[in-house]
Amino acid sequence: MSYRDTYAAWAEDPTGFWEAHATGLVDWITPPATTFNPEAGVYGRWFEGGTCNTCWNAVDRHVEAGHGDRAAIIYDSPVTDTKRTITYAELLDEVATLGAVLQDRGVGQGDRVIIYMPMVAEAVIAMLACARIGAVHSVVFGGFAAPELATRIDDAGAKAVITASCGIEPGRVIDYMSLLSEAIDIASVKPDTCIVLQRDVQPCSLTDGRDVNWADAMADARANGRRADCVEVAATDPAYILYTSGTTGQPKGVVRDTGGHMVALAWTMENLYGVKPGEVFWAASDVGWVVGHSYICYAPLLHGCTTVVYEGKPIGTPDAGAFWRVISEHDVSVLFTAPTAFRAIRGQDPEGALLANYNLSSLRTLFLAGERSDPATLAWAEAQLGVPVIDHWWQTETGWAISGIPMGIEKLPVKHGSPGVPMPGYDVQVLDDGGHPVPNGTLGNIVVKLPLPPSCLPTLWNAEDRFRASYLDEFPGFYATSDAGILDDDGYLHIMARTDDIINVAGHRLSTGAMEEVLAHHAAVAECAVIGKADELKGQLPLGFFVLKSGVTQDEDAIAAELVKLVRHDIGAVAAFKTAVAVKRLPKTRSGKVLRGTMQKIADAQAYKMPAAIDDPAILDEITEALGAKGLIG
């Protein structure tokens, strides 16, 4: 069936479409009573009445089907010079044992477990062990600092934490344990237990009564014959919470359900990514992001593929040939990464000379997401690899692509600069600010008509009002994506910009509002603003502006350095906040709204229209002057 026919079949009968796939793709303990109940939850719920277990579907059933010897995880770590293959049978033993370790420490169905780990196989094992016992995990990216971790521990009400003694970034070791201890000190919720993976690179000391050594606990459980069975959970139960940036410092806890998550992800493997069970799928991301949840951990394993857990970077570990090495050594069929990784590789090896050292014949398709794919990078990747390069667009909230080129259905033409066509499940429309549809080719707010398809968030954790306010209230009957873009005459989407204060730094989603909250805490700062300035490698980089309180005599550069330190301490290295500039005043409208968009255009050396409502146009000259003095324009 063509893409058009498949999409039309879904549009004709959305419930029937997902019902058919739910039966074939997932093992249910009790099949769902209804495929979709529009009366349940905020906008309806998928697969109500069904019960299932994600770990069973991702692990046990493949072993039962005789695939126990197949590689489930390939852990490849250039930073520790380690490679390890874990078969499905071994993975089953690991998750059943860790599940028992958690249960023996009082973690049960519905309890929340924070996972704060580097890119090691144990991170995936921890996620699956939670799924096995019906616990709800919340993975926190390793580049977040203690206060961010504390916010998540509190909001999730974490009963336990699974962590490692350290993470390894090129040139520095991240002491996870001291970050975790600081976070637990700050948090009001105190987890009962922390399971700690000790790493040879830098083991840590453990706190009596709270911390447990992963290896010891696993050995004890094995010695006592303890193994956890798969716990039956409702399809509508939360599988995990993943915090993502909102407009304030308080991140949004995106809730993923269990049944819908499995059905949608399993559907994508064959239909969107065009992979078969047994093939090697590599998402070069991090388990801390949604791409890592869906395509390092769950989807490849649900589909019986081999997933690669890569603890390294596209460059510097040791060079710009790192990705080619991994593809050739492990016979990767499909690679999924962010465009920034390819910009980094291209920057170091523009001619692709290192490709000649490797055999990439296994690679069929490269998928890119996380930020806009600039046509130049995409064209470079196509030319170097000689395989289709597919940009696809999605969000933490959806858990899978809203648009793309469905390689398993039809290899539609690729249009550079467009992340393809809407996937079945998504009725994507473009509306003006008043909520009226705009003609094709016109820029507007991209929305998805409710209900959202399986796997998309049913709500925000403990924050249903915020869910409605953030996504549903602005355009009644639609989910607001907060992305602005265009639908063209061929039905392709073009994603142009966020409509909120989220910026995208190296494929990482960051809130400028959260950074402003940090800057505003500095005793010398009267006012501040943070914008995303265009960056050749990372897409955008945050740039801070601050106005000193009157009477402050401290050196502006010293304060700027303190602000950089503050953001790194409060949010983390991932914010990549390296520049703050003192200005006399911030440009505002007469009603007091800071004109961040205009400041961004000045920083990017783009033409701008004088905002009609600007209070004092002279301030824009002051901003230009301040940026120019620091060599920061363009």
Q: How far is the CB of 321 from ligand AMP (least distance, A)?
A: 25
> Rule CB under 6 A: is residue 391 a binding residue for ligand AMP?
yes
Q: What type of residue sits at position 73?
A: I
CA distance 634 to 601: 9
Count the alpha carbons within 13 Å of 155 in the hemisphere toward its beta carbon.
25
396 interface partner picked from ligand AMP, ligand COA, none, CB below 5 to 8 A per type: ligand AMP
Supply φ then ψ for residue 115, to 5 degrees. Answer: -115, 115
Stretch that binds ligand AMP, among 1-9, 96-104, 352-360, 369-377 (CB under 6 A): 369-377
Tell me which H or E stretch contains 310: strand 306-310
CA distance 243 to 476: 25
Task: Tokens for 469, please give them.
Answer: 């306010």
> Rule CB under 6 A: is residue 174 a binding residue for ligand COA?
yes
340 interface partner picked from ligand COA, ligand AMP, none, CB below 5 to 8 A per type: ligand COA
> Rule CB under 6 A: is residue 371 a binding residue for ligand AMP?
yes
The residue (of 349 and 527) whose beta carbon lies closer to ligand COA is: 349
Q: How far is the CB of 16 from ligand AMP (least distance, A)?
A: 29
The residue (of 564 and 573) whose beta carbon lies closer to ligand AMP is: 573
Residue 329: closest CA among 352, 307, 360: 360
Count of residues that bind ligand COA according to CB under 6 A: 26
Which alpha helices (DSSP H) does 549-617 contain, by range? 556-570, 596-603
Stretch that binds ligand AMP, among 201-209, 368-376, 377-385, 560-568 (CB under 6 A): 368-376
Supply φ then ψ for residue 629, to 5 degrees. Answer: -65, -30
Q: Give the number of other Cβ atoms within 10 Å of residue 549's Cβ.
A: 12
The residue (of 75 and 394) whose beta carbon lies closer to ligand AMP is: 394
**What residues from 595 to 614 belong to the interface with ligand COA (CB under 6 A)?**
none
- Choice from 77, 340, 365, 579 touching ligand COA (CB under 6 A): 340
Look at residue 191 and give its three-state secondary structure. Answer: coil
Rounding to the nearest 10 degrees, give the CA dihedral for residues 418, 423, 427, 432.
-10
Q: Which residues pair with 582 in a beta bridge?
A: 546
For ligand AMP, what does the binding mask look like between residues 487 and 516, x meaning CB under 6 A?
Answer: --------x--x-----x----x-------
CA distance 48 to 234: 8
Burial of 527 (0-12, 13-18, 19+ CB in 10 A): middle
CA distance 75 to 320: 19
In this structure, are residues 507 and 339 in contact, taking their beta carbons and an 8 Å threshold? yes
286 interface partner picked from ligand AMP, ligand COA, none, CB below 5 to 8 A per type: ligand COA
Stretch that binds ligand COA, among 219-227, 525-533, 570-578, 623-631 (CB under 6 A): 570-578
Q: How far is the CB of 410 from ligand AMP (least distance, A)?
A: 19
The residue (of 496 and 633) whose beta carbon lies closer to ligand AMP is: 496
> Rule CB under 6 A: is residue 286 a binding residue for ligand AMP?
no
Q: How far is the CB of 493 from ligand AMP (least distance, A)?
A: 9
Quote the crossing angle between the two packed helices 121-133 and 88-104, to the nearest 10°.
60
Residue-level length of the chain: 634
Count the alpha carbons within 13 Å of 531 in the hemisphere toward its beta carbon.
22
Q: How far is the CB of 143 from ligand COA (least distance, A)?
A: 3
DSSP-assigned letters across all residues of 136-175? EEEE--TTS-HHHHHHHHHHHT-SEEEEESEEEETTEEEE
Task: Tokens for 482, please give them.
Answer: 């907060």
**What residues from 403 to 422 belong to the interface with ligand AMP (CB under 6 A)?**
419
- Choice from 116, 289, 467, 492 touching ligand COA (CB under 6 A): 289
> Rule CB under 6 A: is residue 483 a binding residue for ligand AMP?
yes
- Residue 253's Cα: distance from chain center in Å? 12
501 interface partner picked from ligand AMP, ligand COA, none, CB below 5 to 8 A per type: none
Stretch that binds ligand AMP, among 66-74, 140-148, 389-397, 467-475 (CB under 6 A): 389-397
Q: How far is the CB of 138 from ligand COA (least distance, A)?
A: 16
> Rule CB under 6 A: is residue 396 a binding residue for ligand AMP?
yes
- Choice from 68, 99, 142, 259 touching ligand COA (CB under 6 A): 142
Q: How far is the CB of 223 from ligand COA (least distance, A)?
A: 33
CA distance 70 to 63: 9
Task: Tokens for 586, please give them.
Answer: 């911030």
425 interface partner picked from ligand COA, ligand AMP, none, CB below 5 to 8 A per type: none
> Rule CB under 6 A: is residue 393 a binding residue for ligand AMP?
yes
- Choice from 22, 135, 344, 543 touching ligand COA (CB under 6 A): 344
290 interface partner picked from ligand COA, ligand AMP, none, CB below 5 to 8 A per type: ligand AMP
Residues 6+ apart with CB under 8 A from 409: 1, 2, 3, 6, 271, 272
**What residues from 504 to 543 belong to the interface with ligand COA (CB under 6 A)?**
505-508, 538
DSSP-assigned letters across all residues of 250-287? S-EEEEEESHHHHHHHHHHHHHTS---TTSEEEE-S-T
Stretch that binds ligand COA, among 337-345, 348-356, 435-443, 476-484 (CB under 6 A): 337-345
Query: Site residues (CB under 6 A) for ligand AMP?
Result: 244, 290, 369-372, 391-396, 419, 483, 495, 498, 504, 509
Enumerate binding residues for ligand COA (CB under 6 A).
118, 142-143, 167, 169, 174, 285-286, 289, 291, 313-315, 338, 340-341, 344, 370, 505-508, 538, 573-574, 576
